[in-house]
Amino acid sequence: MTEYDYWKIFPRMPKKVTIGDITIRDGFQHEEKFISTAAKIYYAEEMIFAGAREIELTNLGNPEGIPQFTDAEQVLSYFRGERFKKNCERRGINPADITFTAVTIRETAVDRAIELRKRGIGPDRILMMVSTDPEHHFANSGTTLPTYWKEVERCIKKASDVGIKMNGTVSTIWGSPITGPTRLEDAVEFTKRFLELGAYDIEHADHDGSASPADVYRYFSMILDEIPDPEVHLAHFHETKRIAAASVLAALQAGICRFEATLGGLGGQPANFLDDRPVKGTGEYYYTDPRYVGLVTMEDLLVMIDEMGIEHGYDVDRVLWLGRKMEKTIGRRLRSEAIYNGRTAKQGHMEFARPGLKKLIEKLGEKPGQLIPADWAPKAVLPDKFHMKK
């Protein structure tokens, strides 16, 4: 007989997950208009009130290249301030339970994070990134992989000395938008290198949507065979083929319990245009159609996770409400379907029922709730040709 219990089929699949919100950083970095500091603070705080406990607030890199984050210190300062603490207290939230992350791709940004930490407003966690494709890595960081690994080694030690956790991000795991196919084995080795150097956790990133569910399952099974603690690993999927949710499911089946998402599926490559002027960003966009960039959608992902019966810690309805507000902030229709279609109905919508069924049942002499003719056997009998052959 077929096994119907999902968790017996996939025994590594978690019953509880952590979903980090990275709307304010990754989500906004691809926007070609400046999102106000007040809006950044509002959405980050509201997502915390809705259940987020891992949240990316900003990028501490050179603001000339990514001017969307010229307000990095203002945003960080708010979340170390008394007003935020009091808002949390009123809602029974302990600010110490929240991990605030800032992206710090290069050493100058790491030094900035350390300086901010010493001033009492720095992040709890920072992020450095390698790509298994040297060309993609050079496009993002401006340096070679061997040189960058030495930089990572220095930075992890410096950050650790002041109590900042380092996330090591591995990119182009399933393919590169520049050179094409990559090797899963290289990403496994890069993961182990980061941990050897002292990284706190690893983000396994599909930054251009190259992943397929089968390869996602294969890769994370390889990872957990080598490094079995699922809390060390974080899955980060971008949406370019509308199959990122399938990749999330494959990662769950392999045993991954930490994910990231953005409201509306916002995000992508850093913008090379802001408001009325071109900016550096990371150069020309890999995709010319803006519909083909961005992350897996927070609203839709939460609905999927929730309806699988997996614990996640969010107020789903509140997140759907925030997703509708985000469309006003951005000024266009975003990717979430759940903010319009909601969650799967548990009670139905009788206002859509066609009038007259009750009277027709009475007229025909049938019983309420009767599904088959009264003179039929209660159970169907299949013809022999449909029986399973032993």
Tens-digit pLDDT profile for the chain (390 aa)?
789 999 999 999 999 999 999 999 999 999 999 999 999 999 999 999 999 999 999 999 999 889 999 999 999 999 999 999 999 999 999 999 999 999 999 999 999 999 999 999 999 999 999 999 999 999 889 999 999 999 999 999 999 999 999 999 999 999 998 999 999 999 999 999 999 999 999 999 998 888 999 999 999 999 999 999 999 999 999 998 888 999 999 999 999 999 999 999 999 889 999 999 999 988 888 777 766 789 999 999 999 999 999 999 999 999 999 999 999 999 999 999 999 988 877 778 888 899 999 999 999 999 999 999 999 999 999 999 898 776
This prediction has a pTM of 0.93
Collapsed DSSP state (helix, strand, coil) of residue 19: strand
Asked if the structure places residue 6 within a domain, the reply is no
- Contact criterion met (CB below 8 Å) for 148 and 141: yes
Q: Are residues 380 and 308 in the same domain?
A: no
Asked if the structure places residue 368 within a domain, the reply is yes
Q: Estimate the crossing angle of helix 213-226 against helix 244-254, to 10 degrees.
A: 30
Q: Are residues 230 and 254 in the same domain?
A: yes
Q: Are residues 31 and 111 in the same domain?
A: yes
Asked if the structure places residue 207 within a domain, the reply is yes
Q: Are residues 359 and 254 in the same domain?
A: no
- Give the integer Cα–Cα distance in Å for 202 and 165: 11
Collapsed DSSP state (helix, strand, coil) of residue 35: coil
Asked if the structure places residue 350 within a domain, the reply is no
Task: Compute CA distances 57 → 11, 41, 143, 258, 329, whole Å.
Answer: 35, 9, 25, 18, 17
- Residue 33: φ, ψ to 5°: -130, 150
Q: Are residues 263 and 288 in the same domain?
A: yes
Instruction: Provide the total of helices (H) and of strands (E) in the chain, helices listed first.
Output: 15, 10
- Contact criterion met (CB below 8 Å) for 202 and 191: yes
Q: Are strands 273-274 and 277-278 parallel, antiparallel or unpaired?
A: antiparallel
Q: Name the nearest CA neighbour of 322 among 69, 113, 104, 44.
A: 44
Query: Which of the 8 DSSP states describes residue 229?
Result: -
- Residues in a beta bridge with 167: 127, 201
Q: Are residues 379 and 326 in the same domain?
A: no
Asked if the structure places residue 279 within a domain, the reply is yes
Q: Name the nearest CA neighbour of 290 among 240, 329, 250.
A: 240
- Give the integer Cα–Cα distance in Å for 180 and 132: 11
Asked if the structure places residue 5 within a domain, the reply is no
Q: Are residues 43 and 100 in the same domain?
A: yes
Q: How many domains would you assign to the chain?
A: 2
**Residue 19: which CATH number?**
3.20.20.70
Q: Are residues 283 and 377 in the same domain?
A: no
- Give the integer Cα–Cα distance in Å for 265 and 295: 5
| Residue 284: domain span | 13-341
Asked if the structure places residue 3 within a domain, the reply is no
Asked if the structure places residue 237 within a domain, the reply is yes
Q: Are residues 234 and 264 in the same domain?
A: yes
Q: Are residues 243 and 381 in the same domain?
A: no
Q: Are residues 314 and 380 in the same domain?
A: no
Q: Are residues 17 and 95 in the same domain?
A: yes
